Amino acid sequence: MNFVIAVDLEGISGVVGTPNKGFKNDNIQYKFACEQALREVNQATKALYDCGAKKVYVWDNHGSSLNLDYMSLDKRVDILAGVGLKHRFSGLEDKKISGVLLIGYHAKANTSHAILAHTCDSSKYQYIKLNSKTVGEIEIDALLATANINAPVIFISSDNMGVSQGEKSLPWIKSVITKHSIGRNAGLLKHPSTVLDEIYSSVKDAYKNINNMKKYKIKSPITVEIRFLRLEDAQSVSNSKTKGISLIDPYTIKYTINKIMELY
């Protein structure tokens, strides 16, 4: 069986970021986050191969990608990297993926007191709703894994709030809580080494339960509602007169798509 490990940075153990900012490469913790992400990915990779996986693909997807030190990754993996992909999971369509693991993911935007919570871009969006429910990157990537590579999400690692949001939408997943959020930039952090041990055993557990994993879907057509941080953004989308987009208040646009792939 083949697997994809999608890697974000905000939910990696030990990471809390700094106030009023997204988590970028000028952050004091950026180097640590990349190094710890690498260790967490290598643990998950080892667990998958120890269980008998045939191939593991690592998708380096935080920010503009290119976060991980590829020479230090387990040399059995192939790496999906860079920007300008045709869609999320580009290049993996024909790889017969059995499961997707989300490592270092985080709670959705408009979650109070969750470490570095955001959806897609913390400087742009207050929330994204699909069919009237707010979603985060966990749900969006789970939907796109179904749509683009026909695979279920089987594992996530995140802070306690990201994990509980993930488990609500994807109750079959196995998970590891990397830290307990106290505020947007504060938490009670598990020791990063403890998290490595937990990832190894929880990923093995996910592999053993692969037959219980489900592909996440929602009803189509899909209503999309996006509330921007700045009203200029909502204004310019509505000024563009793209068919079917309506402005429901100065900050918020609404439109309908037939398939989740059309979200990007």
Instruction: Give the interface with Zn ion as residue ranges (CB under 5 A).
Output: 8, 10, 62
Pick the closest to residue 134 from 162, 111, 152, 113 (CA basis). Answer: 111
For Zn ion, the closer of residues 10 and 40 by Cβ is: 10
- Rounded to whole angstroms, the Cα distance separating 2 from 251 reads 42
Tokens for 14, please give them. Answer: 């030990």
Closest by CA to 42, choosing from 16, 68, 14, is 68
Contact 134, 128 (CB under 8 A): yes
Tokens of 179: 């830290």
Residues in the chain: 264
Give least dist CB 31 to Zn ion, A. 15
Exposed (0-12), middle (13-18) or buried (19+): which is 75, by Cβ within 10 Å?
exposed
- Is 8 or 159 the residue whose CB approaches Zn ion more closely? 8
State which residue, 62 or 204, has the beta carbon closest to Zn ion: 62
Comparison of 62 and 88: residue with beta carbon closer to Zn ion: 62
Shortest distance (Å) from residue 93 CB to Zn ion: 23
SS3 content of the chain, % helix, strand, coil (to 5): 30, 25, 45
Least gap, CB of 106 to Zn ion (angstroms): 7
Nearby residues of 262 by Cβ (< 8 Å), 6 or more positions away: none
Closest to Zn ion by CB, 10 vs 60, is: 10
Sheet holding 222-228, edge to edge: 133-134, 125-130, 222-228, 252-257, 246-249
CB of 43 to Zn ion, least distance (A): 19
Q: How far is the CB of 10 from Zn ion (least distance, A)?
A: 5
Residue 10 vs 198, nearer CB to Zn ion: 10
Residue with the CB atom nearest Zn ion in the bound state? 62
| Distance of closest approach, residue 94 Cβ to Zn ion, in angstroms | 27
